[in-house]
Chains A and B, each alone.
Chain A
Amino acid sequence: MFCYSVDKMPILNDISGSFFKEKITTLVGPSGSGKTTLLKMCNGLISQTSGEIFIEAEPIDSIEPTSLRKSIGIVLQNAPIIQETVFDNIALPYTLQEKILTEKDAISFLEIVGLDHTFLYRQAKDLSGGQKQKLSIARSLVNNPKILLLDEITSALDPTSVNEIEQLILNLNQHSRVTIVWITHNIEQAKRIGDFTWILMNGQLVQSGKSDILTASSNEQIQQFVKGVQEI
């Protein structure tokens, strides 16, 4: 169980639960419910103000921060990129470790996310939203993470790109055995790809379980939220 507060205002309160290894867990909930905060805590970008978070029984506070962040990748909302080429972006995790990523390896990472070698020396800022998102995913894979945290990575994409990225994440989960935690506002997407779902509201974990809780829950708050999202 853990909490996170800013200036004594609780952002996450009494959160207790598990993300299952090699499964896909989706996080859903209204804006401001603390989903992004939760992901950043798992990646070590922020720390809980009380309680503990464990990765395979090891408290994350006891893991050296750079090692933790390499083993738990995060793809942040809006896919931030560095203003250089696609190659520079893909190679960034290696550059930070003063290692060299070969062109061949960079192309293979691009191919995993469905971008071909012709993208390698393009300026990253010139890519479309979907391509930037794919580039962000490819970049997060360079560290070979065992857990991948995804923050609304398809929210601004067209249906084709959404479908491509969902297939890509399913492949990573099924073939590379990467544990996925995915924030989404799309209830259908959460049901489609999630093995499990956490529903967060006002900084609290209201319910967690198999993804059918989104439609089968008797919780009135959840029913209203799901109905509201589907009407948008």
Chain B
Amino acid sequence: MTYTALSLTLIFVLIPLVLSRTLKLNLEKDTIIATIRSITQLLTVGYVLKFVFESESFIYIFLMIALMIITATLNARKKGKTIKGITWKIAATLVIVEAVTQGILLTFEIVPATAQYIIPISGMLIGNSMVLSILFLNRFTAEIESSRDQIELILSLGGTPKQAIHKQLTNAIRASMIPTIESQKTIGLVQLPGMMSGQIIGGADPIQAVQFQLLIIFALLTSAGLTSILIGFLSYPTLFNERLQMIRSSKA
């Protein structure tokens, strides 16, 4: 793509800006900030990736993945402020998800152990886990807030915290996993996934693009399941004290 062609894509930014101004949606500032951030972040990542790919050093791969995990953790933790130690819980979850998925991919030599494969796949998996964490924490805190009397009922009858919160925990795990599962049911019929489309536009064989896309969607299933379950089971014990009482919180 030429720089002229790339510049012309800004027409797609102008359209929502004009619509926002005309309809007084007050989204102009956010749209401009989002556009500037997209350009800056992606160009930076592009140059960083170029450097990392050329250096062929595992230290840089490790640093890139660490940066992704730190950024994803800091973003997701905002939704779980009421859960004690949520930052470390999310970070631990993302590390485990990354280790398990990349472990399988590299151990069985499903993809080559090079930066060109490890970094983009890690980005997709960690990004998906971040969204899953946010979905889970949103739902989990809402479930607890709306069913305090049910949780208290089970505790009052001699139930354990795990029994008391089981329904809210499984509801939140299910709710956070459903978008991943549902989107896979219509994949290819309603939308062509971004990675696959990018490969095809870049001139790759469509069948090979599909094969890589399948790899990603299957890995996303594992990351979705692991993320929700790990965060759930790491989080719920911190809602109770040693006397098996719900810890008072302004919004938990």
Does B222 make an interface contact (CB < 8 A)?
no
Does A209 make an interface contact (CB < 8 A)?
no
In the complex, are the beta carbons of B245 and A96 less than 8 A apart? no
Does A139 make an interface contact (CB < 8 A)?
yes
User: Chain A residues with Cβ under 8 A from B159's Cβ?
Assistant: 66, 96
**Set A67, A74, A76: member contacting B149, Cβ < 8 A:** A76
Known: A45-B245, A74-B156. 13 other contacts (CB 8 A): A43-B156, A44-B243, A45-B152, A61-B243, A66-B159, A67-B158, A69-B155, A69-B156, A69-B157, A76-B152, A80-B150, A96-B157, A140-B157
Does A78 make an interface contact (CB < 8 A)?
yes
Does A93 make an interface contact (CB < 8 A)?
yes
Per-residue contact bits, chain A 137-162, to B (CB 8 Å; 1 contact, 0 not): 00110010000000000000000000
User: Chain B residues with Cβ under 8 A from A43's Cβ?
Assistant: 156
Known: A6-B248, A44-B243, A61-B243. A69 touches B153 (CB 8 A): no
Task: Give 6 nearest A-B pairs by CB, closest first.
Answer: A70-B158, A96-B159, A65-B244, A80-B149, A69-B158, A66-B158
Instruction: Name the interface residues of B141-157: CB closer than 8 Å to any CB of A.
Output: 149-150, 152-157
**Set B149, B150, B160, B245: member contacting A44, Cβ < 8 A:** B245
The distance in angstroms between the C-alpha atoms of A82 and B156, with both chains bound, is: 13
In the assembled complex, the CB of A204 is this many whole angstroms from the nearest CB of chain B, namely 22
Per-residue contact bits, chain B 157-170, to A (CB 8 Å; 1 contact, 0 not): 11110010000000
Does A46 make an interface contact (CB < 8 A)?
yes
Instruction: Name the interface residues of B192-250: CB closer than 8 Å to any CB of A.
Output: 243-246, 248
Per-residue contact bits, chain A 40-57, to B (CB 8 Å; 1 contact, 0 not): 000111110000000000
Instruction: Name the interface residues of A57-82: CB closer than 8 Å to any CB of B.
Output: 61, 65-67, 69-70, 73-74, 76, 78, 80, 82
Residues on A lying within 8 angstroms of B by beta carbon are: 6, 43-47, 61, 65-67, 69-70, 73-74, 76, 78, 80, 82, 92-93, 96-97, 139-140, 143
In the complex, are the beta carbons of B149 and A45 less than 8 A apart? no
In the complex, are the beta carbons of B150 and A96 less than 8 A apart? no
In the assembled complex, the CB of A203 is this many whole angstroms from the nearest CB of chain B, namely 17
In the complex, are the beta carbons of B152 and A96 less than 8 A apart? no
**Set A46, A47, A93: member contacting B157, Cβ < 8 A:** A93
Residue contacts A-B, CB under 8 angstroms, 10 given: A46-B245, A61-B243, A66-B160, A66-B244, A69-B158, A76-B156, A80-B150, A82-B153, A93-B157, A96-B163
Known: A6-B248, A45-B245. A93 touches B158 (CB 8 A): yes
**Set A6, A74, A96, A140: member contacting B154, Cβ < 8 A:** A96
The distance in angstroms between the C-alpha atoms of A76 and B155, with both chains bound, is: 12
The distance in angstroms between the C-alpha atoms of A121 and B174, with both chains bound, is: 28
Please give me the residue from chain A that is nearest to B167 by CB atom.
Answer: A82
In the assembled complex, the CB of B169 is this many whole angstroms from the nearest CB of chain A, namely 15
Please give me the residue from chain A that is nearest to B250 by CB atom.
Answer: A7
Please give me the residue from chain A that is nearest to B248 by CB atom.
Answer: A6
User: Chain A residues with Cβ under 8 A from B248's Cβ?
Assistant: 6
User: Chain A residues with Cβ under 8 A from B150's Cβ?
Assistant: 80, 82
Please give me the residue from chain A that is nearest to B151 by CB atom.
Answer: A80
